[in-house]
Amino acid sequence: MRACSGFETFTCCQDLGESNASWLETLPHMAGYVESRRGWMLIDFPVDSGLAFLAAVANSGPRDAFYVRMTHWAAPDAWDVNVKPMDVAMRHEQVESQFHLRLLQVSFPAYDLPELVRRLGEHAAGRSVAPAPADWSTVGR
């Protein structure tokens, strides 16, 4: 396990499309996924650490377009945040299936990285932004 600004992580990726392009040689059905992830970054967290990361990022900046992208699935360039159930039998095939919620994946457009880093710096310095209404017009609210 690694640490990202004090949050436990499993893995990360600077460009999902680029780093997974080699999949197409053996997994041609992944072509759509690989192409759709060009220019997108990913961080894999243990679930609790990922939730703490999201709260820290949200609370360390205004409730602006960045915030709307990270919190609402229908926003333009919305972050893709998923909890992935993991089956113990994937690694230990001799045991019965046992699913656990272990992995939280956060994927976001690379252009959000500077603001993400800025917010993590604010969080590390103990600074937060007071809650305020967000502009939800891009998601129809």
Look at residue 68 in the predicted model and tell me its pLDDT. Answer: 98
Q: Residues 33-46: what's their mean pLDDT?
A: 88
List the structure tokens of 91.
Answer: 């690694």
pLDDT tens digits, 75-117: 999 999 999 999 999 999 999 999 999 999 999 999 999 999 9
Q: Where are the domains of the chain?
A: 2-11+43-124
List the structure tokens of 58.
Answer: 């949200």
pTM assigned to the model: 0.87
CA 135 to chain centre: 22
Buried-exposed string 5-39: b where 16+ CB fall within 10 A, e elsewhere: eebebbeebeebeeebbeeeeeeeeeeeebeebee
DSSP code string of the chain: -EEETTEEESEEES-HHHHTTTHHHH-GGGHHHHHHTTTEEEEEEEHHHHHHHHHHHHHTS-SSHHHHHHH-TTSTT--EEEEEEEEGGGT-TTSPP-EEEEEEEEEEEGGGHHHHHHHHHHHHTT----------GGGT-
List the structure tokens of 128.
Answer: 């937060």
Look at residue 3 in the predicted model and tell me its pLDDT. Answer: 53
Place of tokens 């994937």: 90
pLDDT tens digits, 2-29: 555 689 999 998 887 677 777 778 888 8
